[in-house]
Structure 1
Amino acid sequence: MEEIYVRHVELLGFEKRFFPSQHYVYMLMVKWNDLSEKLIYRGYPEIYTFHKSLKEMFPIEAGDIDKKDRIIPALPAPKWLDNQKSTETRQSTLAEYCGSLINLPPKISRSQLVRSLFKVRPEDENPPAQHPLKRNETFVVSNDKTRDNTSEISGPIILESYRVIADYSHTSKYEVTLHIGDLVEIVEKSPNGWWFCQCDTKRGWVPASYLEPLDGPEESEEADPNYAGELYITTKAYKAAQDDELTLETGETIEVIHKLLDGWWVVRKGEETGHFPSMFLYRTGEKKEMASEEHVMRRQTPPPRRSTIRNAQSIHSKGRQRISQDTYRRNSRRFLQQKGSRPNQPRKTSKASTQSPLQDWNNRDNIPKTAGSSPGGELKGAPIIPPRPSPELIMERCTENTRKKVSVRKSKADKQHDHYTGASLYWGQ
């Protein structure tokens, strides 16, 4: 007898039920290889429990031994409290997961565990009794919407694995307690430095500063500094607790020059730079409230910084390369000076304002023009000479070796000056 296996799974929508309590189930049309079609109802927690069992049954394909070998698609953990919006937005992810699951090698896609999940049950053919006062609500996905949603997903979502570098105890019901050496899967990386992760059966928010990548100490997703800066406004006052942080009041406009994944961004106020909690910032012209992080923002507590963690133990021999505030400040001032020196040409008079760009190109060799030159294509006056940089700027831009030599010469010159001054006084001159 030929083995029965699932050939195709289509997500039709979901149903909101009120008995025995309010919950949601997805409607799945399962097509088998014997050409039969069955409509089944499955809750998301059950599908996620199946997903965890599948990973335990096939550890190599789940990437537990080597993540490069992972072919089993990832599935985000259920939320603490499901609602209609989360159930609806999860449909495209679940549809993609089922499609990827059926396309896995036969030893997985045709396993007993997969068949048990999609096998029709008595409660599928005869749904349980409804609520005496409320009727079940059915939400069907349109074909156009399904195609649009699934087209945005190029493949199965693979969750990143991180290692815990120190013990962390949760401080709210939304967080999770972790121990050093635990491996967690990252479901969401929030810009404020709180990451939603899952560890075995636990899931919740943890500070990103307590986690490190497995491949190396550096974060591949972390952007380089942008000294041009982006304008942000502070939503809450913060007093610096460390020397490399900035104290700012509510409503101040600053420039963000480096967005770090731990949630402590480097900002610039005037010529000063320092770390500041990103959860107290919002971009100018945008709404500051973020519904997806409402429960995290309500705490108004920035995550701890890596430098404040005690007994941190990393598996990498080289630590994470951090840029010092002196480097941030020096590069920032250099950028501002270069930016200010670009438009240092004197303001043009009304006569010179009629000059065309072609005339500038004709004088690209910076040749001075005589006063009697024809006005057709030549400029009057001397060529534009850039201002000489200040001694402090020269010392800032030169190399360390040059800086040392200049310091030695300066000290010798000072000694000679003192010697000559003393001799003059001695001889009465």
Structure 2
Amino acid sequence: MDMEAMIQRSQEGVLLPECCIYKVPHMIRDQHGSAYTPKFISIGPFHYGDERLEDMERHKEIFFARFIRKSKKSLSDLVNYAQSSVQQVRDSYSEDIAFEDKDLMKMILRDAAFIIGLFCGFISEDKELLKDAKLSQLWVRANIAQDLLLLENQLPFFFIENLYNKADPCNLGGYHPSFRELTYMYFSFYNIQNLKPDPNVGIAHFTDLLRIFHLQEQKPQRKLFHASSDILLYSAHKLKDAGVKLKAGRSKCILDLKLSRNNHVLQVPEITVDMGTEILFLNMIALEQFRYPYDTYITDYVGVLDCLIDTDRDVDVLIHQKIIRNHLGDSRSVAELFNSLWKNTVPMTFSSGYLDLCKRLNDFYQDPWRKKKVALKRDYCKTAWQTTASIAGVILIILTFIQTIFSILQVVLNK
């Protein structure tokens, strides 16, 4: 089933309202390789049994044993909670889960205990945990954190949070943080806006939380999207040549693009592009296409950047203006990354702010007088020497014209 069909199916109510964890269609997976596949640890049923991830199953057993020892509830109490939640957990997945209730219960209980133990352990700098031959390695922990953000690699947030509340296993010197607080601390690297845990904000799972970290506080209105007329037509270097000043915005929200009233200054918040950028954006985009087809704010942002970036020349402009911090090495890789993110998306609506910004930039570039000015600058003022020569030429023409006028006047007066 492709992305558009899945959205249609969701709108028709075939998927239950509780559904929030989705399997990415093969036609998209084939184009983006392993962006949706965990590399170190499987969470939930979709990737359970993958031989590449078997090594972490032993760690899950160790974490589960420690979790039970620290729990304020008995094992039977926790098992009873998991059993009572199995159907609701099943309903959270877009695919049928081919596990008996008993096996699914064991899996989600063990996976949730691992996540809780991981969060508690590294927040409290647990010495026993930090001595672990694998988990003590920073690069492993970073990759596990990224695996926990993949759309297909999720448990529903409600299950982990309720299990944590029942067990109350985390005592940080008399301080008992909520599971939301722990989660925000663990994923603080991605929380660039420094958002505070809010019990009134619904969280479906960790991929959903990643999206929440990136959203604007005041979400713009939505309008129907028409690709033929609403898209930004000109890339960064063309806009720069036309007189638009590209500037790094000060906002901590990367979605906060701003265009000055006179259309001369486009502010784009700084974004760091590294090995994980493509993976995280692809998973947020996939989540929006399935769960938020009429609120695709992350997808909209990627669409605007795709328009701003056509080639490595555009990337160089954005790097020079300190809008992109490139950790990939060459500019061409950055251009290819952003050119691939928006493929296979189905924009039904678009942010009204972005639509207005695109229209104003298109109009600014297409202004006929501005085009003439740009042509003059391109042909006669590329370098300082060329500019000087052009000015000297204009002065010479003016002086020649004045000399001609005086010569004519002299002839007329002599008569």
Return the structure number with greater relative CO, CA threshold 8 A, min gap 6.
2
Structure with the bigger percentage of strand: 1
Is the TM value for this pair above 0.5? no
TM-score interval, normalised by the smaller of the two chains: under 0.3
With normalisation by structure 2, the TM-score equals 0.26
Structure with the bigger percentage of helix: 2
